[in-house]
Structure 1
Amino acid sequence: MLTEPEEIQQCFQKMEAALKNTKRLIVLTHDNPDPDAVSSAVTLAYLVNSKFKIPTAVKYSGIVGRAENRAMIRVLGLRVTPLKDSDFKRGVNFAVVDMQPGTGNNSLPKRQKAVIIIDHHPLRKTTKADFVDIRIDYGATATILTEYLLESGLEISSTLATALSYGISSETQDLGREAGEKDIQAYLALFPKSNKKLLASIEHPKLSRDYFITLNRALHHSFIYKNAIASSLGEIENPDFVAFIADFMLKVERINWSMCIGRTPEKIIVSVRTTNTKGDAGNFLRRLIGKKGTAGGHGMVGGGQIICETMEHELCTHIEEQLIRDFLIKLGYREPGDMTPLLTTEPIHT
């Protein structure tokens, strides 16, 4: 059952109060946004623009890397543009979705306060805004925005329904990962209104050669120890591949934990995935990275980063190797032996 209409209307009232001095709003996603973030952002922009008559734009930093994510924006014609320095000017306020300020995965400056925060990740002690809606029992932020949209009285276009339904399904892996009853009900409410042909073209896009090159590298640089697999991509141009490979490697038989590491000129990026519903991957990765960087996530999904732009190559490599060893140690293997290459016929440690 979805949230009671009275609760949603109270949220609208609080949101309107939070926006009372806002002349223009920018809805900001986390860096390198995924479908959950994009669909949530465009829906919030539509609600604010239509319900409160405030001009609103959706912005992001980084890149939209995965083919599915680019296809979603392209085929649905979503108005999502890169954040610029000129966006930070007087009279412009910020809302953030699918993330919280200070997590290291977004480009909201410390000096810039968000007036609205909507997210499904665990509430951070530093998270403050005029309107905050954090629901950690939801599998996707898009589910929260779907509830708003259904109760808004506004027209639900096929474009928004398609974006939100894909946002929910991709974030929850077709309702199979951390999806609760609210996510299922939201998806079922959206699906009849969504464009099935466009949805199929988003889910099955053409793939670039870079995709296969990176996948080849991942396959040749993935190593298994008992129920864990670790992949090292080295230097990458597309940060989205780190999370993709972490997800992909969970498909290996007998594997319950997966970690992938990749490096951009600025950051070492780390993703952790688990099939354990009580794995608490976000906190697991936060403890793994420690003070070296920042991390977050939720039950079965974790993401983090370590700033490395001033480090020598050898130091970055050492940190990555240590992360993989600590990954195994924190899984309970106090003195892990050599890991077995994924692409080998040798027996795996059991």
Structure 2
Amino acid sequence: MTAATDLRDLLAGATELTIVCHNNPDPDCLASALALGRIAAAAGVDERRILYSGEISHQQNRAFVNLLDVDLATLDPESVRDREEGSLLAFVDHAVPGANNRVPEGTPVDVVIDHHPHDALDARFVDHREGVGATATILAEYVRELDVDLDGTLATALLFAIRRETLGFLRGVTRAEYDAAAFLHEAADADLLRRLASPAVSGATADAIATAIEHRTIRGSTLLSNVGRTSERDALPQAADYLATLEGVETAIVFGIVEDTVQLSARSTDSRVHVGDALGDAFADVGNAGGHREMAGGEIPLGIFADDAADGDALCDLVATVVTARLADAFGLEGVEGEEETEE
């Protein structure tokens, strides 16, 4: 028996499958959900749905949903807690109820497929491969082994997700990604891949990235930047990706206030640094943070900073001071204050 056949056998006994994406799902999560739905259909599951929380704000993620016509619905947390017999709950590209999703903590999960770092996971079926570069790689393997129909939409979704998650096969890539790409290539739509790779950028995203560039602080090979308030959550990882390419920079961390949370995004090519562990150590007591050695993120409820004396600019200043101090401590940076500063 293999993981793929174990999953098929579990699905074959179900009447319904609910696939929950993480908050603000990216192509790796969305493509994995799409593939799991196809596998479930092939196993005879008649009722299937893909749910998500948060927003799909990144222009590439919006293009992915629109161009591939991914059928999504908004998550009702209570609807997944109390399920009838034969109704399965699956997580793809995340793993724990209440962590980067709005599923109530303690909710039983039937299927977990993920490549992010985690401790022990609890589900009837778990395929957790921290060593691979993308969750979509795992799903592509299942599709191939189970001989699930691979049309242009599914092949394009999985191939684009793998390319995006590994930054064009340059970050965290393994032999498994190349094997998956070889399998998917012939069925994928090359024109659609190009359109997905070059979506239009909103003005708000450009403004947030410009702010991140302007407010950068560099100590040694580590860069920090605070964008203040922004409506574009997904501008932060885009800014981190760009700032990590600056000459002399090996680690870039960008943070900002998005609605009622502080969002963080980190990138690193420094073999001495595990940015996922560093962010987890810095913020685990106040929010959710972590990820891979080269790519990580975090979310902190803004409520922990709010009081009668902190609002508007004062709140932004308080967030900048506290977050910068924690990052400076976690990454061993000297002379970094909460003030915005640029060092060339």
**So what's the TM-score if we normalise by structure 2?**
0.90
Matching residue of 1:212: 206
The one-letter code matched in structure 2 to 1:280 is: H
| 1:322 alignment partner in structure 2 | 322
Which residue of structure 2 aligns with residue 5 of structure 1? Answer: none
2:285 to 268, 291, 306: 291
Q: Report the Cα distance in structure 1 between the residues aligned to 2:249 and 2:132, rounded to whole angstroms.
A: 26
Residue 333 of structure 1 is matched in structure 2 by 333
- Report the equivalent of 2:130: 136
Q: Does residue 37 of the first structure (1) align with residue 26 of the second (2)?
A: no
- Tell me which of 99, 108, 124 is aligned to 2:103: 108
* Deviation by residue 1:203-222 (Cα, 9 ceiling, x = unmatched): 11122222222222222222
- Contact 1:224–1:230, Cα closer than 8 Å, also in 2: yes
**Compared CA separation, residues 128 and 316, structure 1 to 2 (3 A):** farther
Instruction: Tell me what 2:188 maps to.
Output: 194
Deviation per CA, 1:153-182: give whole Å up to 9, x if none.
121011111100110010000010010111
Cα distance 1:184–1:341, how it changes in 2: closer, same or farther (>3 A)? farther
Aligned to 1:83: 75
Closer, same or farther: CA 201–21 of 1 in aligned 2, 3 Å: same
1:227 maps to what in 2?
Answer: 221
Please list every run of 5 or more consecutive structure 2 residues that lacks an aligned counterpart in the other structure.
Answer: none
Structure 1's unaligned 5+ residue stretches are 1-8
Tell me, in whole angstroms, the C-alpha distance in 2 between the residues paired with 1:14 and 1:189: 22
Contact 1:272 1:281 survives alignment (8 Å)? yes
Which of residues 158, 166, 177 in structure 2 aligns to 1:164? 158
What are the equivalent positions in structure 2 for 1:229-248 lying under 5 Å apart?
229-248=223-242
Higher relative contact order by CA 8 Å / sep ≥ 6: 1 or 2?
1
Aligned equivalent of 2:88: 93
Confirm or deny: 8 A CA contact 2:288 2:299 kept in the other structure. Answer: yes
Given candidates 18, 37, 41, the residue that maps to 1:26 is 18
Rate the CA distance shift 1:137–1:57 in 2: closer, same or farther, 3 A. same
Deviation at 1:231, TM superposition (A): 1.5
Q: Give CA-to-partner distance per residue, 1:168-204, whole Å, 9 cap, x none.
A: 0100000100101111211122122111111111111
Give the Cα–Cα distance (whole angstroms) in 1 for the partners of residues 54 and 98 of structure 2.
15
Kept in 2, the 8 Å contact 1:246–1:258? The answer is yes
C-alpha displacement at 1:117, in angstroms?
0.2
Deviates more, 1:330-339 or 1:113-122: 330-339
* Cα pair 1:19 1:115 within 8 Å, conserved: no
Question: How far does residue 297 in structure 1 lie from its aligned partner after superposition?
Answer: 0.6
For 2:12 and 2:282, locate their aligned partners in 1 and report how far apart those are by CA, in whole Å: 42
More deviation, 90-99/64-73:
90-99
AA at the equivalent of 2:90:
A
Q: Which residue of 1 aligns with 2:251?
A: 257
Alignment of 1:203 with 2:225, yes or no, is no
Structure 1 residues 14 and 138, CA, compared in 2 at 3 Å: closer, same or farther?
Answer: same
Distance 1:203 1:121 in 2: 24
State the superposition RMSD in angstroms.
Answer: 2.3
CA distance in structure 2 between the aligned counterparts of 1:151 and 1:83, rounded to whole angstroms: 31
